[in-house]
Structure 1
Amino acid sequence: MDSINIRFDHLESLNKKYQKFSGQINQDTLSNLDSLVSTFLSDAENARNENRLLRIGIVGQVKRGKSSLLNSLLFDSQDILPKAATPMTAALTKISYAEEPSATVEFYTEDEWQKVKLMAEQAKAKMENYQHQRQEFERKKTMKEKGVRPPVKPTLSNEEEASIELLEMALQSDVDINACLGQSKQISGVKQSSDLVSKLHEYVGSSGKYTAFVKSTELRLSIDSLKDIEVVDTPGMNDPIVSRSRRTQDFIGQCDVVLFVSYCGQFLDVVDMRLLAQSIPNKGIENIILIGSIFDSVLLDECHEYQDAPTAIRSITQKLNEAAVGAINQVCEQDGENGNQSHLMKTLQNSLPATFVSARWLDISKKLKAGEELSEEEAHTLKQINSTFEGFEFTAEILEVLANISRVETQVNEVRDKKEEILSSRLEGLIEGSMTGARSLLTQIKQDVEQKKKLLEEGDIESLSQKQAEHIKKLESGEVRVKATFEKYRISAEKKLRSLLAEIQQDAQGVKRVESQTGSRQESYETSHEVSDSTWYKPWSWRATRTEYTTHYRTVNYSYANVNEAVDKLESFVIDSSKALFKASLNAVNLALFRKDIKECVRGLLDFSDDSFDPENILLPLSNAIERITIPAVQLDMDHHIQTVREQFTSAQVEDDEINQLRNEQSRVVGVLLKDIARELETSIGLILQKMVKEEEQFIPSLTKDLKATVAQLEEDLKDKEARLNNYEEILYTLRNDLSEI
């Protein structure tokens, strides 16, 4: 890092060093040097700022010990993080440091809330229809109608159940929901972080009047342990809002490390694996720490199967890890059968073996060491664990080791160390690239100053003025040939860019395809039969019957499609299209070849055979004029397009007949995107062509201006020839030193 700092300081000093010679150095080149150094300093500062924050994402079901783990890991076991209200109402939460505690609460947009309402109303209609069918069935049975089968109770998805709960909470809240939708609420003016968390209960608490329609919260807490750390806590459910699910993936995708927390008692069950796929993006995540939480509960449940504590802990840990390997391998095999193994699952495989922790044990250990009184719940836990194995006492020291939080700390710190290596590498790349650019600019300055010094030493201003005037006249009369060269490249650029749209349209055909898969699940259904309801000593009841219902279970095969995968395809299409447009705009004009052709065109207009004329008098200004030719690179408005995609879908998975609806929707969205892309491509073509026309119009005037400036500079220099020669020599001495060092 020392060598990086030395070169960093050298680059930073370059601009200041040459500013004092601004009267003798070409202003365009000096401006380019200033821009290069400013850009480097800005990029380096951004790299350091980005790397300064260790971003930690936490994923797991609600009530699985996520908050307890983070409180133990980051906040010295204090109850800092707000607990989720219910699995259905947990909001996406981002937590960071600030000197003054504050929070931002973001509500659903109107479109998002309409989707919640629609899903809830459709789910309710399903249940009401079932109840109606059930009543009709009962009525027909009483009429002794034959052959009537009981209706099958519909199974609601997690998303549907969540929507119903959210809507019911909202209706009971006595709040003008429409006034909140699409808005955000700032909470500030509190002195303590604990006061801020208390104020948030209205927005994330189980009885909070705003809880139902809160999409996300950002907490900025004045807690030292949060310095240089940002935490993203995910909702921990199957989100009824696809746009929030995708935003969760965006936030998690920016994290350096993801803690995936699964309850040891149901380690990596089906719900966990589904949540994993929904919350963590399939690209970009390199560090996952797999954590089994509430290990103390599993040990208490299974301790009777083992003779001693070490054997129990070792065996349970091994059993849980084997279950984890099995669950992850099963998903990876399914990925393989579908033709690809996801990056996410590979990363999860690399996270094995899992780390099993108990935040409760760590809390007890700390209190025992500090001589503090245990809570009633903690005292009960300690009494239970100490009664499990005869003759073995779980001391504070043993509980601290078994809590295993230190292992998670070590894993997080390993990621932090890796970030430092990445930062060094990134800064090295920035410095090397900037050094190359600075070397090129300093060489240009050196050539320019050497030429000015040579002209001053010769001192023949009359001859120079005459030759420059001749060149300017020839350049202006030959402007048509220069414009023809610009025209040639302008036509070529337009053709290249227009051909891109055809390629994007071809790629769109693959995006329209929605892959379906088959699955199976257990469903319950009822059958009924009539049995006698008579009593022998009640003659009036001898013919009476009653209906008895029996619940049966069957395996149902179904087809399904993952909406997140469909959205992934669409978002990738937008990103790939944007990259293609950016690359095409960069390559629309081969600047190196274009500049070479322009230079040859200008050389053809002038006579370089005159031995009395130094060609550098025209070639240096020409090079400066050509270097000023730039072509803008353009990109799509990706955020707008991705948001458009996310707003089109509601549930995370569709089944059977709904798959065709998803395919139709996918095709429709692709059509919308293609229309927008075509419009933006036309705008981009217009921008590039306008820029080339502007460069064409400015080129000859710019070049002649530089030629005249050469004469003007010599006139100025001749007023104090000796002093100016010393100035030029000082500049050249400084340049030689800098060029040798970089």
Structure 2
Amino acid sequence: MSIQQHFEQLSDLCHDLQVWDKRFNNNEISNILRLKEALEVDIERFEQEQQTLNIAIMGQVKAGKSSFLNALLFDGKPVLPTAATPKTANLTRISYGEIPALEIEYYSKEEWDEIEKLAQEKDESEAVKVAQELVEMVSTAQINVQEVLEQQTKRIESSFIDDLVNTLNQYTGNNGQYTALVKMTRLYLPNDELKGFDIIDTPGMNDPVISRTQKTKEEMARCDVVFFLSRASQFLDQSDIHLLTDQLPQGGVERLYLIAGQYDSAILDDGFNRESLSECETNLQNRLNKRAVKELGDLADKKRKAGHEHLADLLENLVKPIVSSTFAHGFATWDVSKWDATMQHVHTELKEMAENDWDEYQFTQQDWQRIANFDALRDKYQIARVEKNQILESKKQSLLPKAQEKLDEAISYLKEAVESRITGLNTQDISKLTELEKQLEQRIHGISSKLEQHIGTELTAIRKAINDISVDLQKSIQQYTQLTTHTGLETHEEAYEVSTSKWYNPFSWGSSETRYRTYTTNYEYLSASDAVEQIAQYARNCKVDIQYHFNDLIRPNQLKLNLRRALVNELNTAQADFDATQFKNVLDAVIRQLNLPELNLEIGDPSRKISQNFSGQIKSSSDMQKLKQALNQSLQEVFKLLNDQFKASAKQIEFNLTDTQNLLAQKLTQGLENELSQIKRDFAEKQKSIQEYEALKALISDEALTKKIA
């Protein structure tokens, strides 16, 4: 049975019970009706969020993510503009939509003010450069910044995809008119392959704009399948490892694939040292595999020690990366007219190297297809879709037993109430019930006093725990003040001469040409986004710790259970001439409905001070010290905010529990009065009422529910 079938049959039951709702004053019917409403919300939320398979493409700026997606999803059509620099590295989510549409999310005014402030700085950091470039882009575009930002979001629809693609370039392209002001875009396309699937093109964590970095982290936390692109020529460098460490979600990712992209560039770098294409590919594969085993093995070990077993398992399985070349895919499958200038240049260089260094070798169609390796990528892409469907179905099924358990509990309460009504109508008369009610009301004060003692015990424990929890929070700050020092790489280019002499061509003897190669140097830095994440993590952990300890003290369900047990004990030890069975269920229902308070904390934006004053990589020793001081100050502010809020909330909860103590007798009395009023109405038409309750009893009997719900 599916959850949808259960919901439909529960709906039928609720329809039948609807007419009974007003005859039960203690929510016996309405509780079941609310189950249907809650389940409907769960199913709708599941369909909207969980039914969508989120596939993310991760990698540094210039790793070739947009080109990869254009080739994989759009047959090479440049739907997604490529980001030439970090300044245009905006996140794009691609979804299915019947009408081609583009949704744009701009920076908030506060975020843009921070970017403008950063652009005024005098240092040479990457963050300052990007901020200056963004401000310059806006100035060149001659647009009204405040007017654009006031929109917050914007939706553009078009009947033609080509028109929409041209529009997209204005918001995400390297020279787009509005690109500098855009934090995220969402593209809706009438592509059947996108039904139920979202594709996320991420900007990479070497994005120096913190607000975009945080947006990327939020989006990545929702992803189920991740394709991680690393340039084969600089495979799994420190920036890649940093990206995997910080951006890859700790949970939720079910499939992770490692791609050594731009494989053609690695062949160009390595090929002149090899005797053949085959030797070059063998050497590259061995080198890439060894690099993956070492770097990802070390990272997996760190994740496992941190308690992230699932993520560690995923990383350890990435020992053999998938080599791939979007350009080679284009060489093999696209008409030459679709090649852009960069593709044409790379194609020429590869052909010349094969002719010069591999004894006049000519690339074949099979060579291009093998280097492209797109069949392997498509296989992983399709397998991920199929396997995710299985996971989604499993998650759907988990809703059913939970829904059934809640329904069984609600039905049992209703059965008790119905049986009590039938027994009362068959064995009592209204005068006896009225007398019993008066006796019970006289005993209410004694009963409520016993129950109030349990609440008093809880209050004492709460008052004692408040200071203990505050001390623990203060002590935990220290572990969040440490920032990891990262090692960055700077790429440099140098020229070198290569002989172009051919033995068969005397005119070429002694000739040479200039070629270029790159090398890297290391530098150390602290990451501003690390500090932001430290603060956010401390705030989240504080909130979780407070609520865990506090709710462990309150334990609303346990408190209600203790109150109900005390009630039963008090009624059972009453005098022999006092039989309160008729009203025991009523009093029990009152206790179940007690609205006991819970603690709720609001964190706000605790990292704002860091994001306002620091961005990107912090390299100088003085700036590093300032960042550490700002981090410590922000952590102290978070502690004060949560601790003050916690104490204020705890005090309010004490007041609420005290009110519950004071009003308990009144609530019990009101419950008795409501029940007796309904019984009096039933006695007015006794035989008819008995028949109706018998019919209701049959409706919710185990046999009837087996047919209706199971």
Please give the TM-score of this superposition, normalised by the length of structure 2: 0.83
Percent identity for Structure 1 against Structure 2: 24
**Map 1:501-520 → 2, pairs under 5 A:** 501-511=470-480, 513-515=481-483, 517=485
Q: Which residue does 1:65 correspond to in 2?
A: 64
Whose radius of gyration is greater, 1 or 2? 1
The Cα shift of 1:205 comes to 3.0
Q: Which residue does 2:536 correspond to in 1?
A: 571
- SS at the partner of 1:22? helix
What is the count of residue pairs matched by the alignment? 674
Q: Is the 8 A contact 2:459 2:654 kept in 1?
A: yes
* Structure 1 residue 238 corresponds to structure 2 residue 237: no
Q: Which residue does 2:187 correspond to in 1?
A: 219
**Map 1:90-105 → 2, pairs under 5 A:** 90-105=89-104
- SS at the partner of 1:632? coil
Q: 2:364 is matched with which residue: 394, 406, 431? A: 394
Q: Is the 8 A contact 2:60 2:206 kept in 1?
A: no
Q: Is the 8 A contact 1:582 1:635 kept in 2?
A: yes
Please give the TM-score of this superposition, normalised by the length of structure 1: 0.79
Q: Is the 8 A contact 1:159 1:238 kept in 2?
A: no
Q: 2:636 is matched with which residue: 671, 674, 680? A: 671
The Cα shift of 1:563 comes to 3.4
Q: Is the 8 A contact 1:12 1:41 kept in 2?
A: no
User: CA offsets per residue over residues 312-352 of structure 1, 9 Å max, x none?
Assistant: 5454333333333344456678x69x986987676434323
Structure 1 residues 413 and 523, CA, compared in 2 at 3 Å: closer, same or farther? closer
Structure 1 residues 700 and 664, CA, compared in 2 at 3 Å: closer, same or farther? same
The Cα shift of 1:621 comes to 0.9
In structure 2, distance between residues paired with 1:24 and 1:576? 47
Q: Which residue does 1:192 correspond to in 2?
A: 160
In structure 1, distance between residues paired with 2:667 and 2:117? 63
**Map 1:34-433 → 2, pairs under 5 A:** 34-122=33-121, 125-126=122-123, 156-181=124-149, 184-236=152-204, 238-277=206-245, 279-281=247-249, 285-299=253-267, 302=270, 312-329=280-297, 347-367=314-334, 375=339, 394-395=364-365, 399-400=368-369, 402-433=371-402
Structure 1 residues 715 and 556, CA, compared in 2 at 3 Å: closer, same or farther? closer
Q: Is the 8 A contact 1:87 1:237 kept in 2?
A: no
In structure 1, distance between residues paired with 2:536 and 2:637? 13
What is the letter of the counterpart of residue 209 of structure 2?
I
**Map 1:623-638 → 2, pairs under 5 A:** 623-638=588-603
Q: Which residue does 2:502 correspond to in 1?
A: none
Q: Is the 8 A contact 1:93 1:216 kept in 2?
A: yes
In structure 1, distance between residues paired with 2:435 and 2:325? 89
Q: Is the 8 A contact 1:497 1:584 kept in 2?
A: no
The Cα shift of 1:644 comes to 6.3
The Cα shift of 1:446 comes to 1.0
The Cα shift of 1:568 comes to 2.6
In structure 2, distance between residues paired with 1:108 and 1:32? 44
Q: Is the 8 A contact 1:246 1:646 kept in 2?
A: no
* Structure 1 residue 640 corresponds to structure 2 residue 639: no
Q: Which residue does 1:435 correspond to in 2?
A: 404
What is the letter of the counterpart of residue 500 of structure 1?
I
Structure 1 residues 102 and 601, CA, compared in 2 at 3 Å: closer, same or farther? same
User: CA offsets per residue over residues 182-222 of structure 1, 9 Å max, x none?
Assistant: 75251424222322232233333333343334333233334
What is the letter of the counterpart of residue 199 of structure 1?
T
The Cα shift of 1:470 comes to 1.6
In structure 2, distance between residues paired with 1:169 and 1:677? 40
- SS at the partner of 1:430? helix
**Structure 1: 5+ residue stretches without partners:** 127-155, 525-554
What is the letter of the counterpart of residue 426 of structure 1?
K
* Structure 1 residue 622 corresponds to structure 2 residue 577: no
Q: Which moves more between the two structures, 485-494 or 452-461? A: 485-494
**Structure 2: 5+ residue stretches without partners:** 493-519
**Map 1:513-592 → 2, pairs under 5 A:** 513-515=481-483, 517=485, 560-592=525-557
User: CA offsets per residue over residues 340-382 of structure 1, 9 Å max, x none?
Assistant: 69876764343231112233343454447xxx96658678877
In structure 2, distance between residues paired with 1:295 and 1:523? 19
In structure 2, distance between residues paired with 1:594 and 1:725? 36
The Cα shift of 1:267 comes to 2.5
Q: Which moves more between the two structures, 157-166 or 478-487? A: 478-487
In structure 2, distance between residues paired with 1:22 and 1:345? 53
In structure 2, distance between residues paired with 1:374 and 1:91? 25
Q: Which moves more between the two structures, 600-609 or 43-52? A: 600-609
* Structure 1 residue 736 corresponds to structure 2 residue 702: yes
Structure 1 residues 569 and 182, CA, compared in 2 at 3 Å: closer, same or farther? farther
Q: Is the 8 A contact 2:238 2:488 kept in 1?
A: no
Structure 1 residues 413 and 648, CA, compared in 2 at 3 Å: closer, same or farther? farther
User: CA offsets per residue over residues 640-664 of structure 1, 9 Å max, x none?
Assistant: 3466664463234444233321221
- SS at the partner of 1:462? helix
RMSD: 3.9
Structure 1 residues 330 and 182, CA, compared in 2 at 3 Å: closer, same or farther? farther
In structure 1, distance between residues paired with 2:34 and 2:120? 58
The Cα shift of 1:243 comes to 3.0
Q: Is the 8 A contact 2:258 2:322 kept in 1?
A: yes
What is the letter of the counterpart of residue 320 of structure 2?
P
